[in-house]
């Protein structure tokens, strides 16, 4: 099977400018060498804490941001080289859903106008048919067609997210990048939206990249999960494998830190000390080493590349034999 | 039975809106004992935050507390003159917020703000209060407290700001702490650190804690008892493990089913249909009736009152799920 999307060593750095001349004084390494493949029809989860670069990665993949370097191939075609008409055609196939349904819909447009916009921009259907298609879209996402003449402010958060989803699927995309689509919603509404996204995936054979900080949602919704830390993917695996057998100390801490319903009141024990360092000056070697409970001598010197530790399970950690570092690990460094 | 610190009785808060008065909190009652934590959960607009602000008497027009009592060691906070209440706020009752900048002044240093509060409430000199502030900053795990004492809030990270706010709130050793979604804006690993901190300080000061959150996982791990709210009313109250294992109110049941949990797989989440009614259009009778799978005729006619069904357990439902 060929990958739908194939990303190689993608980087997105943002300049930090200072002073009168706005000279670049530093760089935020938001995405710092990410490689991954997305198979058609799957749901790939991107998880990590704020500032790990998951949203920047998502936006770079749909070319809302132009990457600093690296390559993105869509069905074997160099997506980053596309310009003009070719790019516009390709954009129809890749859509995005945002976290904040209050910010992502133009408050001055009616729902009808919002939903006709994609057809207009891409000249995808004759003007008189557009409204009809908008009406059909609303019904697909579980809203009344009568809502076409209303404005976004008349809707609740969950309803607005349905409108955003309707807009995203208007042009029959293949790939949808959903950036925290349920994070701003109450739990009962969150479940409705997740179910809707699942239904649409089946109906339209969509591929999802699902960005979230909520591991329980990711476990429920995704097929495969990639964990990010400071701009890099540090572990990727099928979700069952990732949640049952996390190998990277950061993934382990992240899963342990999720509060569990029904676990009973307990003596809280922080899974990790310290905070995520600044992506302007990421730590040397493995970015996680300053907080890692299992770090050893080599961790601050060399970045461990992703290595295969099981079927489809790759991890970037010196504990899991990455080329040069493997032999050098002192026995004491490997503790269960 | 532990000593009761706070007793809220039939609290009612009304907002006077253009479309008429709405009861954001309508007849909420609970007790919290010394060293105990009551979790209050519910979705946006259920009145959990308004309850907290009412207890602190921080409701401003068009809102108004229209009934009930808030007894702190038997004394009704709602009938105190405002000056007395100011003596209590920050000293005997304290509050921490989701967004620390709600409580911190951006143009004053952390140290200055702490000193102001400590001097006022504890009657210490500036030198003594500085000592106390540094001690608190250290206690909440802020590295280099001396530097942080002289920092402005924006110079701290989100997690550190949260710690600074907690240090300030607890510097006068209150009997009662209200924590309003204190970890909601934080990353999960930082959330763990802050929850541990709140718990550690609670043990040390033996505070009664009212912990507001929408996150049932957090509630599960930190609360002794849980109160579930819906549309301004209480629907179920129970010891945490009982509520999580054997919920009886249909809303609690639905809420618990609708959240995804790690390792528990089902292709679809049982979502609660519809949305929370706005307070303007609340139906007569039970506010949950239109979304409730167990609705019976009686639910449309009258509103069920909170009734004791077992020790420590109350329920407001005419057709609850059977006891297991």
| Average pLDDT rounded to a whole number, residues B32-53 | 93
Per the CB < 8 A criterion, the answer to whether B38 and B32 are in contact is yes
Structure tokens at B227: 């109160």
Q: Is the pLDDT of residue A331 over 50?
A: no
With cut-offs at 50, 70 and 90, classify the pLDDT of residue A186.
confident
Average pLDDT, rounded, for chain B:
93
pLDDT digits (tens, 9 = 90+) for A89-117: 889 999 999 988 888 899 999 999 999 99
Report CB contact under 8 Å: A213, B263: no
Task: Say what the pLDDT of residue B44 is.
Answer: 84
With cut-offs at 50, 70 and 90, classify the pLDDT of residue A330.
very low
Task: Say what the pLDDT of residue B143 is.
Answer: 87
| Average pLDDT rounded to a whole number, residues B289-309 | 95
pLDDT digits (tens, 9 = 90+) for B151-175: 999 999 888 899 999 999 999 999 9
Cα–Cα distance, B324 to B318 (Å, whole number) = 17
Q: Is the pLDDT of residue B53 over 50?
A: yes
Report CB contact under 8 Å: A261, B217: yes
Per-residue DSSP letter, B267? S
pLDDT digits (tens, 9 = 90+) for B197-244: 999 999 999 999 999 999 999 999 999 999 999 999 999 999 999 999
Closest CB to B214 among A187, A258, A269:
A187
Contacts of A154 (CB under 8 A, 6+ apart): none
Per-residue DSSP letter, B112? H
pLDDT digits (tens, 9 = 90+) for B113-155: 999 999 999 999 999 999 999 999 999 989 889 999 999 999 9
Residue A243 near chain B (CB below 8 Å): yes
- For residue B242, which residues of chain A lie inside 8 Å, CB to CB? none
Q: How high is the ipTM of this complex?
A: 0.84
Task: Say what the pLDDT of residue B268 is.
Answer: 86
Task: Say what the pLDDT of residue B1 is.
Answer: 61
Determine the residue of chain B that is closest to A187 in CA distance: B259
CA distance A17 to chain B (A): 19
Residues belonging to chain A: 336
Query: What is the CA A243 to chain-centroid distance, rounded?
Result: 18
In what side-by-side order are the strands of the sheet with B20-33? B20-33, B4-17, B63-72, B75-76
Per the CB < 8 A criterion, the answer to whether A89 and A79 are in contact is no
Where do the H-state alpha helices sit in chain B? 48-55, 82-88, 110-122, 126-139, 145-149, 158-170, 188-205, 216-222, 240-245, 250-258, 297-301
With cut-offs at 50, 70 and 90, classify the pLDDT of residue A332.
very low
CA distance A174 to chain B (A): 22
Q: Is the pLDDT of residue B294 over 80?
A: yes
With cut-offs at 50, 70 and 90, classify the pLDDT of residue A325.
very low
Query: What is the CA A170 to chain-centroid distance, rounded?
Result: 21
Determine the residue among A230, A270, A276 to mutate to test chain B binding: the one whose Cβ has the most chain B Cβ atoms within 10 Å.
A270
Task: Say what the pLDDT of residue A335 is.
Answer: 38
Residue with tokens 């070319």: A63
pLDDT digits (tens, 9 = 90+) for A190-204: 999 999 999 999 999
Q: Is the pLDDT of residue B267 over 90?
A: no
Determine the residue among A261, A267, A290 to mutate to test chain B binding: the one whose Cβ has the most chain B Cβ atoms within 10 Å.
A261
Average pLDDT, rounded, for chain A:
90
Residue A188 near chain B (CB below 8 Å): yes
Least confident of B26-30, B85-89, B270-274: B270-274
Q: What percent of chain A has pLDDT over 90?
A: 70
| Average pLDDT rounded to a whole number, residues A74-84 | 92
pLDDT digits (tens, 9 = 90+) for A4-27: 999 999 999 999 888 888 888 889
- For residue B263, which residues of chain A lie inside 8 Å, CB to CB? 219, 243
Q: Is the peptide bond before B128 cis (omega within 30 degrees of 0)?
A: no
Report CB contact under 8 Å: A217, B260: yes
Q: What is the DSSP string of B25-59?
A: EEEEEEEEETT-EEEEE--TTSSHHHHHHHHTT--
Closest CB to B221 among A268, A270, A275:
A268
| Average pLDDT rounded to a whole number, residues B27-41 | 96
Task: Say what the pLDDT of residue A320 is.
Answer: 87
Cα–Cα distance, A70 to A60 (Å, whole number) = 11
């Amino acid at each position: 099977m060929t990958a739908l999307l194939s990303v190689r060593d993608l980087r997105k750095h943002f300049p930090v400018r200072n002073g009168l001349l706005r000279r670049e004084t530093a760089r935020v390494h938001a995405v710092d060498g990410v490689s991954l493949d997305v198979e058609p029809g799957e749901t790939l989860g991107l998880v990590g804490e704020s500032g790990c670069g998951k949203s920047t990665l998502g936006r770079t993949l749909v070319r809302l941001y132009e990457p600093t370097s690296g390559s993105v191939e869509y069905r074997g075609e160099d997506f980053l080289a596309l310009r003009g008409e070719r790019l516009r055609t390709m954009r129809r196939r890749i859509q995005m859903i945002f976290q904040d349904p209050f910010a992502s819909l133009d408050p001055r447009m009616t729902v009808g106008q919002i939903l006709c916009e994609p057809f207009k921009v891409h000249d995808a259907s004759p003007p008189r048919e557009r409204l009809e298609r908008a009406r059909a879209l609303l019904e697909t996402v579980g809203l009344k067609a009568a809502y076409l003449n209303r404005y976004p402010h008349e809707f609740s958060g969950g309803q607005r997210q349905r409108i955003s989803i309707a807009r995203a699927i208007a042009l029959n995309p293949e790939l949808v990048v959903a950036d925290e689509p349920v994070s701003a919603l109450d739990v009962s509404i969150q479940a409705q939206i997740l179910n809707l996204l699942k239904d649409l995936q089946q109906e339209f054979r969509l591929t999802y990249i699902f960005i979230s900080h909520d591991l329980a949602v990711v476990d429920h919704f995704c097929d495969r999960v990639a964990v990010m830390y400071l701009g890099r993917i540090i572990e990727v695996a099928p979700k069952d494998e990732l949640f049952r057998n996390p190998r990277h100390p950061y993934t382990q801490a992240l899963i342990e830190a999720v509060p569990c319903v029904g676990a009973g009141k307990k003596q809280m024990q922080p899974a990790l000390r310290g905070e995520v360092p600044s992506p302007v000056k990421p730590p040397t070697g493995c970015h996680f080493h300053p907080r890692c409970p299992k770090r050893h001598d080599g961790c601050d010197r060399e970045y461990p590349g992703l290595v295969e530790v099981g079927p489809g399970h790759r991890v970037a950690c010196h504990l899991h034999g990455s080329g040069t570092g493997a032999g050098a690990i002192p026995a004491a460094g490997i503790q269960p | 039975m532990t000593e009761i610190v706070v007793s809220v009785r039939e609290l009612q808060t009304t907002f006077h809106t253009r479309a008429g008065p709405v009861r954001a909190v309508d007849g909420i009652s609970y007790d919290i004992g010394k060293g105990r934590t009551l979790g209050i959960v519910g979705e946006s607009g259920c009145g959990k935050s308004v309850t907290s602000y009412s207890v602190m008497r921080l409701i401003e027009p068009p809102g108004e507390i229209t009934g009930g009592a808030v007894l702190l060691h038997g004394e009704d906070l709602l009938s105190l003159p405002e000056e007395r209440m100011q003596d209590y706020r920050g000293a005997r009752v304290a509050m921490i917020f989701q967004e620390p900048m709600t409580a911190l002044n951006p143009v004053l240093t952390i140290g200055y703000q702490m000193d102001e509060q400590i001097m006022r409430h504890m009657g210490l000199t500036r030198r003594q209060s500085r000592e106390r502030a540094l001690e608190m900053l250290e206690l909440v795990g802020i590295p280099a407290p001396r530097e942080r004492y002289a920092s402005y809030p924006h110079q701290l990270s989100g997690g550190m700001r949260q710690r600074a706010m907690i240090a300030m709130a607890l510097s006068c050793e209150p009997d009662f702490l209200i924590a309003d979604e204190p970890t909601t804006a934080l990353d999960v690993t930082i959330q763990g650190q802050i929850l541990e901190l709140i718990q550690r300080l609670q043990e040390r000061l033996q505070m009664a804690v009212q912990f507001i959150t929408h996150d049932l996982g957090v509630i599960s791990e930190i609360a002794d008892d849980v109160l579930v709210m819906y549309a301004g009313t209480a629907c179920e109250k129970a010891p945490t493990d009982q509520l999580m294992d054997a919920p009886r109110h249909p809303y609690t049941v639905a809420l618990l089913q609708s959240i995804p949990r790690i390792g528990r797989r089902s292709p679809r989440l049982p979502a609660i249909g519809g949305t929370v009614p706005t307070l303007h259009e609340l139906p007569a009778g039970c506010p949950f009736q239109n979304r409730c799978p167990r609705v019976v005729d009686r639910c449309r006619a009258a509103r069920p009152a909170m009734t004791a069904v077992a020790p420590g357990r109350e329920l407001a439902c005419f057709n609850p799920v059977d006891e297991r």
